[in-house]
Amino acid sequence: MEETVSVIVPFYNEETNVRAMIEAVYSALKNYELEWELIVVDDGSSDKTVDKMRECKAEFGDSLCVVELQRNYGQTASMQAGIDKALGSLLVTLDGDLQNDPADIPAMVKELCDRKLDLLQGWRKKRKDKLIMRKVPSKIANKLIGKVTGVYLHDYGCSLKVYRASVMKNVRLYGEMHRFIPAWVAMSVPPSRIGERVVNHKERVSGESKYGISRTFRVILDLLFVWFFMRYRARPGHFFGSIGLALGAIGSLSLIWLGMQKFIMGEDIGSRPLLLIGVLFMIASVQFLTTGILAELLSRIYFESSKRRSYVARENELFDDKERSWNKK
């Protein structure tokens, strides 16, 4: 089956870049061998971004799809809106600030297909951003994310990515999780099917960046959630339970030791800090264990109510359930 491509570009207050970006995509894919569409998403812009989109829609026709969000939900939500709207078997995402180069799309799509990957991440090796405010925090974050998730990439923050739609349709993006898309994809596919490719990166010529140094702290908080979700989504009781058992063991040993001091050696333990610590650890142990039980119940409710499985099976064109049959004597 021949692949089709959906290019998704979210915009937020980028009225000076909308037309230039759309024209750049059409120019890069003008003679492209595969069928493709362009989906632009307005993330509740307060300027004339959506008006520019409508003008381009009237000019370029049905191959351009415009999605308007009612308010500003953030880049992750706008990217998810584009993914939900996409019809292609392959998805391409890139920023609308003209720093990503649409001319990289054909080569990235070809490499993803040739290497049989499920995700190809862009790598801004020669990044045109400020050193202290953007490059240094990004480099630290990339190493930290790779260490925590086990998916080692040079540039998690690059929005230029190519995915297989069959994989991305099983991934739901919330909050500000677009930075961790390779990690989310790694929950459905092995890391060996995630690759990266050096791409062009241009300086911003107009508009203003929506990111600052403050996002570093949000990345750390999001990373903690990703770490927990990747390892304990289907078994949260193991996380809370292991902490509860450890605290319970420490508390029990403390109280046993104090009991020996009291009843065997006849010493006074009422004023010892260890008594308070032992009791607190036992209470905390019970709380963590009960939290683990509740988390397990919620996990099972989530999987059963949403009809989601705890696994993802790869589509196989050579196999059809209708062709199955019983072995007979």
- Partners of 96 in the beta sheet? none
Number of domains in the chain: 2
Give the HSE-up count for residue 35: Cα atoms under 13 Å, Cβ half-sphere: 10
The parent domain of residue 283 ranges over: 236-305
How far apart, in whole angstroms, are the C-alpha atoms of residue 112 and residue 93?
A: 14
Q: Mark whether 161 and 279 lie in a shared domain.
A: no
Q: Mark whether 156 and 8 lie in a shared domain.
A: yes
Q: What is the pLDDT of residue 316?
A: 56
Q: Mark whether 171 and 33 lie in a shared domain.
A: yes
The whole-number average pLDDT for the span 271-300 is 92
Q: What is the pLDDT of residue 212?
A: 53
- Partners of 100 in the beta sheet? 201
Name the strands in the sheet holding 35-42, side by side, starting at the edge strand that comes first in the sequence.
64-68, 35-42, 4-11, 90-93, 161-164, 119-123, 194-198
Q: Please name the residue that has the structure tokens 């010529």.
A: 205
Tell me, yes or no, whether 311 lies in a domain. Answer: no
Tell me, yes or no, whether 328 lies in a domain. Answer: no
pTM of the model: 0.75
205, 232, 259 — which closes off a domain? 232
Q: Mark whether 16 and 117 lie in a shared domain.
A: yes
Give the HSE-up count for residue 57: Cα atoms under 13 Å, Cβ half-sphere: 13
Q: At 155, is the pLDDT very low, low, confident or very high (cuts 50, 70, 90)?
A: confident
Q: What is the pLDDT of residue 307?
A: 66
Q: What is the pLDDT of residue 51?
A: 93
Q: Mark whether 156 and 269 lie in a shared domain.
A: no
Q: What is the pLDDT of residue 177?
A: 76
Q: Is the dihedral of CA 29, 7, 106, 75 positive or negative?
A: positive
Residue 289 identity: L
Q: Mark whether 242 and 196 lie in a shared domain.
A: no
Q: Mark whether 217 and 256 lie in a shared domain.
A: no
Tell me, yes or no, whether 322 lies in a domain. Answer: no
